[in-house]
Structure 1
Amino acid sequence: MLKRLSILTAALSLGVFTGCQYSAQTPALTSPQPLPTSYDSIAADVSTAASNDPWWTSFERPDLDALESEALAGNLSLAEAWARLRAAQAQAVISGAGLFPSLGGEGSWSKGYEGNPSRTGSTEQWGLGTGISYEVDLWGRIRAQSESAQALVEFSQFDVQATALTLSGDVASAWLNILALADGMRLLQQQVSTNQTQLELVLLRFGNGQASALDVYQQKQLLAAAETIVPQVERQIRLYQHQLALLLGQPADWEFSVGTLGMPTMPPAPATCAPSDLLLQRPDVRAAYETLNSAEWNVAQARADRLPRVTLSADATTTAGAFADLFDSWSASFLAGLAQPLFDAGQRQAEVQRQLALAKQSLLQYRTTVLTAYKEVRDALVQEQWYYAELEAMDRQMEAAQQEFTEAQSRYLSGLTDYLDVTSSLSSLQTLQRQRISLIADLLQSRIDLHLALGGELPLTNPDPSPVLSPEDTIPLVPVFAELLEEDDNQDSTLSEN
């Protein structure tokens, strides 16, 4: 018995030693193609002050902070990402279980009667068996399968981060749009009031014979044009509120109170990293890398699947007519098996080619993700630079439009021109005022885009932090015969009393 167990121990030790020798190589986390060392002159005015706080705190707005916290806790898409991570962790345990021996046990008890059933004519049979099996991972197939699943766990972790980062950007964008529209609504109300005052002035002049009916109609049209925009803005505010409610995991009738803070000021710029640092800072880039990592391990697994498999197994059983004699005699067996695929009509070779093609696809997707990340940073920087230039030019245009309206109104009151010049200049001025609010919102949005493009900092808390069991975790065996032994002892004591 001891000799057989020694042989089994040696064989399993050899299997563990040889199983560690797998041939797949993990890809290096480097850029798939050269990237520039900086973002050129467009980043010259960008601050280099780094911060570990959530990126949206740079706006210093408590209303945005509250929305982001609620979204991270209640968004359903983010909850799905957490669930996918849990599933990937469990799958990694399943895939890695083959690296360890499988141990099983069984027990049996039977009781029979001869002739007229009585306790004296009964016979018992006790049995106990245990078995262990192990596949020697000579070519690293199981190891590659485990590493591939572990890479998918890493992918799921970065996918959670990417989902949360996108969510935080969507919340900030919806919040910003609602504030911009609310500012636009206040401006529209002022413009409606101004147009109403202008209409009253024209009507007064018309009553005194100093204005024509055409002047009245022109001003009424300008007033109606401003009033037409009001329901459009109200509709857009309502739709953005619906979108924000969905992002927070709330029903569409949830309403966001704009408050009295108005539009935020431009926050300090985030620190811009070197383009190559995006490989570490962007969760979507890291996720794409782990997909490539998993694909390469799948290639190694497919290649190893064409090679022979060696399995080891051992069984030990004992039977007795009484429980006290159960451990007196044992029978054991040891089996080593070799399985080699001989003909499969090219199935395994085709699987290797398929996995190679999938790995190539993952590599191309990784390259695309890296280039997209670099592009998004440059886009945000360029947009911010030219939004500032556009805003400066628009301010000059608005100043000129205000002067034009003042001059047109003065000339009209002096009888030097007709009212068309007044309505034309006033319409142009009011249009520029509304456009300026939209331009400021676009400028602030470019700052949000820059934070997201750089992989902005954000806090994440796993809603279900309970650990997933790993194959190394030991589970205590339950004594199978505990209740039977207790029952048997009770029966023996009853017989002795009788």
Structure 2
Amino acid sequence: MKFHTLFINRHPLPRMVGAMSFMVFLSACTVGPDFQTPAASESQHYDPQAEQQLAQRIGYGKRINGDWWTAFRSPKLDALVRRAIDGNLELVAADATIRQAASSVAAAEGALYPQVDFAAQAGRQRTHNGPEPTVSNFYAIGPRVGFDLDAFGGNKRLVEQQQAFTQLQKHRYEAAYLTLTGDVASQALLLASANAQMQAVEKLLANDSKNLELVRAAHANGATTQIDVSLAETRLAQDRTLLPPLAQQRDSARHALSILTGKGPADWVAPEFELAEFALPSNVPVSLPSEMARNRPDVLQAEAELHMASAAVGVATANLYPHVELSASLAQAASGNGGAALWGFAAGLTAPIFNGGTLKAERQAAVDGYQASLAGYQQTVIQSFGQVADTLQAINHDAEQNLAQEDALRAADSSFRLNQQAYAQGENSILQVLEAERAYEQALLGQIRVKTAQYLDTVRLYVALGGNSVGVFEQKVASRDAPKLSYQ
């Protein structure tokens, strides 16, 4: 149902004021739910067992401050992460997407204001309603103002929806930032681990080669059998298989670091890293579950999606109610030899009467969409708790494995030294010394792998806790918009 009322009167002002007052009263009404941030989790723990066992390394109830990767005390890593933040193309794309979303908000807000158009028309016409046909010129020129009163807040909810979408894009930027910094740190550690393991394997291979030479000499002198020679050759061949996977890990880490910094592997090569350059953080701050949910970009993304779904319910609800539009025009028009100034003011109302249940179904779909988004938000929160719990337990098991590996390394070192002393006293053969040295090199290789796991799981914990990434986009904008200081 649609009708228009045209006010053309010698004294239109009182009627116009009354109509405007009524319309302004209607515009104060905004239907649909007002979004409320979901309540924080009441849980105070991720995994009590893991938290208790890691009490010496975990600052429970504390927040991450500053750049989390600086806790590893590697200036080279700090410089690499900064280079990646400045050059990463995913962050560039996310930045542009945020600006696009902000423009969409501005476009949606434009509907809340009067729309002013200017129209002009000119032509030549022939009229047949007189004794003789006449030909005359005509024109009309002037502005037109239209205003959607948004009596039930549908446009306001659209603006709210676009604003929530902009927040969603900002949190996606934060998530990309968090993933980027975590990936750079992880790849740098994998590169350092590959270098350390390759050095240990090369020493192991050198030991195997010496062992094989001695066994072959002993066999030539009749002191040993061909079986011993075959065994020494097998060990050397088997240990040689350890190098190619480590070289691939090293090269893949180099390539990944190049890509993360926005360069091709042939255009920029990452610096070399050694495990000795890193220090394992002695006290990792772990925020409470209720606080952590506000520090993870993926949780805030889910909240923004929930906000969008809530606004969509408001839009669908407003569509159930009448739609009111005001318009006014002023034109100078002429036809033939006569001209006049024309003005008009109109109010139009469109109200749904029968649409086959479409509008109600759309609102129900919006409500169901909100329920789905709410469940998705809750699932994201629960998964975030699970990721932190898994990482805490991983760090716990890494510590246990590190203690066991240190015992194995000490035992292998003691055996090697005892065999060296026994050989010096003539109590055993050089082969026994080399076997003990080989066992020590293998234990050293195992320790490198355990230490790498400790570093990587610590990185994963920082990432699982959000890495202090919430708000980095605003910091970037503030830094970008800050006035440049000039020094004379």
Give the TM-score category using the shorter length: 0.7 to 0.9
> Which consecutive residues of structure 2, in runs of 5 or more, have no partner in the other structure?
1-8, 125-135, 482-488
CA distance change for structure 1 residues 211 and 38 in 2, over 3 Å: closer, same or farther?
closer
In structure 1, the residue matched to 2:98 is 85
In structure 1, the residue matched to 2:188 is 175
**Does residue 271 in structure 1 map to residue 285 in structure 2?**
yes
- Structure-1-length-normalised TM-score: 0.80
Offset at residue 268 of structure 1 (A): 3.7
In structure 2, the residue matched to 1:357 is 368
Q: Which amino acid aligns with 2:233?
A: K
CA distance change for structure 1 residues 147 and 2 in 2, over 3 Å: closer, same or farther?
farther
Q: Equivalent of 1:310, from 305, 324, 340?
A: 324
Contact persistence 2:207–2:437 (CA under 8 A): no
Q: Equivalent of 2:295, from 271, 281, 300?
A: 281
**Does residue 36 in structure 1 map to residue 48 in structure 2?**
no
Contact persistence 1:26–1:293 (CA under 8 A): no
Offset at residue 423 of structure 1 (A): 7.7
Offset at residue 285 of structure 1 (A): 1.0
Give secondary structure in 2 for the equivalent of 1:331: strand
**Does residue 339 in structure 1 map to residue 353 in structure 2?**
no
In structure 2, the residue matched to 1:380 is 391
Contact persistence 2:63–2:287 (CA under 8 A): no
In structure 2, the residue matched to 1:150 is 163
Offset at residue 256 of structure 1 (A): 1.7
Contact persistence 1:8–1:314 (CA under 8 A): no
Return the alpha-carbon distance in structure 1 between the equivalents of residues 29 and 299 of structure 2: 30
**Does residue 19 in structure 1 map to residue 36 in structure 2?**
no
Offset at residue 8 of structure 1 (A): 4.8
Return the alpha-carbon distance in structure 2 between the equivalents of residues 2 and 465 of structure 1: 58
Give secondary structure in 2 for the equivalent of 1:337: strand
Offset at residue 3 of structure 1 (A): 5.1
Contact persistence 2:120–2:141 (CA under 8 A): yes
Q: How does 1:159-308 map to 2 (within 5 A)?
A: 159-253=172-266, 254-258=268-272, 262-308=276-322
Offset at residue 367 of structure 1 (A): 0.6
Return the alpha-carbon distance in structure 2 between the equivalents of residues 231 and 167 of structure 1: 27
Offset at residue 400 of structure 1 (A): 2.3
Cα shift readout 1:78-108 (whole Å, capped 9, x = no counterpart): 2222222122111212222222111112346
Return the alpha-carbon distance in structure 2 between the equivalents of residues 356 and 436 of structure 1: 55
CA distance change for structure 1 residues 412 and 13 in 2, over 3 Å: closer, same or farther?
farther
Instruction: Calculate percent identity across the aligned residue pairs.
Output: 25
Q: Which moved more, 1:241-250 or 1:27-36?
A: 27-36
CA distance change for structure 1 residues 245 and 8 in 2, over 3 Å: closer, same or farther?
farther
Contact persistence 1:158–1:286 (CA under 8 A): yes
Q: Which amino acid aligns with 1:270?
A: V
In structure 1, the residue matched to 2:154 is 141
Q: Which moved more, 1:66-75 or 1:13-22?
A: 13-22
Contact persistence 2:193–2:274 (CA under 8 A): no
Contact persistence 2:161–2:312 (CA under 8 A): yes
Q: How does 1:77-116 map to 2 (within 5 A)?
A: 77-107=90-120
Contact persistence 1:182–1:237 (CA under 8 A): yes
Q: Which moved more, 1:95-104 or 1:260-269?
A: 260-269
Contact persistence 1:206–1:212 (CA under 8 A): yes
Contact persistence 2:123–2:139 (CA under 8 A): yes
Give secondary structure in 1 for the equivalent of 2:118: strand
C-alpha RMSD of matched pairs (Å): 3.3
Offset at residue 402 of structure 1 (A): 3.7
Q: Equivalent of 2:142, from 129, 139, 145?
A: 129
Q: Equivalent of 1:53, from 66, 88, 93?
A: 66
Contact persistence 1:92–1:150 (CA under 8 A): yes
Offset at residue 7 of structure 1 (A): 5.2
Q: Which amino acid aligns with 1:155?
A: L
Q: Which amino acid aligns with 2:396?
A: Q
Offset at residue 424 of structure 1 (A): 6.9
Contact persistence 2:41–2:289 (CA under 8 A): no
Offset at residue 183 of structure 1 (A): 0.8
Q: Which amino acid aligns with 1:200?
A: E
Q: Equivalent of 1:391, from 395, 398, 402?
A: 402
In structure 2, the residue matched to 1:494 is none
Cα shift readout 1:224-246 (whole Å, capped 9, x = no counterpart): 22222222211221122222222
CA distance change for structure 1 residues 352 and 43 in 2, over 3 Å: closer, same or farther?
farther
Return the alpha-carbon distance in structure 1 between the equivalents of residues 47 and 77 of structure 2: 30
In structure 1, the residue matched to 2:455 is 444
Give secondary structure in 2 for the equivalent of 1:335: strand
Cα shift readout 1:3-45 (whole Å, capped 9, x = no counterpart): 5467556645653443232133334333475423575325522
CA distance change for structure 1 residues 453 and 261 in 2, over 3 Å: closer, same or farther?
closer
Q: Equivalent of 1:367, from 378, 383, 390?
A: 378
CA distance change for structure 1 residues 429 and 153 in 2, over 3 Å: closer, same or farther?
same
Cα shift readout 1:53-88 (whole Å, capped 9, x = no counterpart): 211122221221222112212222222222221221
Offset at residue 462 of structure 1 (A): 4.6
Offset at residue 194 of structure 1 (A): 2.0
CA distance change for structure 1 residues 184 and 13 in 2, over 3 Å: closer, same or farther?
farther
In structure 2, the residue matched to 1:493 is none
Q: Which amino acid aligns with 1:236?
A: Q
Give secondary structure in 1 for the equivalent of 2:141: strand
Q: Which amino acid aligns with 1:172?
A: A
Q: Equivalent of 1:64, from 77, 93, 99?
A: 77
Return the alpha-carbon distance in structure 2 between the equivalents of residues 408 and 206 of structure 1: 22
Return the alpha-carbon distance in structure 2 between the equivalents of residues 75 and 5 of structure 1: 61
CA distance change for structure 1 residues 7 and 446 in 2, over 3 Å: closer, same or farther?
farther
Q: Which amino acid aligns with 2:461?
A: L
Return the alpha-carbon distance in structure 2 between the equivalents of residues 153 and 12 of structure 1: 34
Return the alpha-carbon distance in structure 1 between the equivalents of residues 217 and 13 of structure 2: 113
Give secondary structure in 2 for the equivalent of 1:205: helix
CA distance change for structure 1 residues 225 and 151 in 2, over 3 Å: closer, same or farther?
same
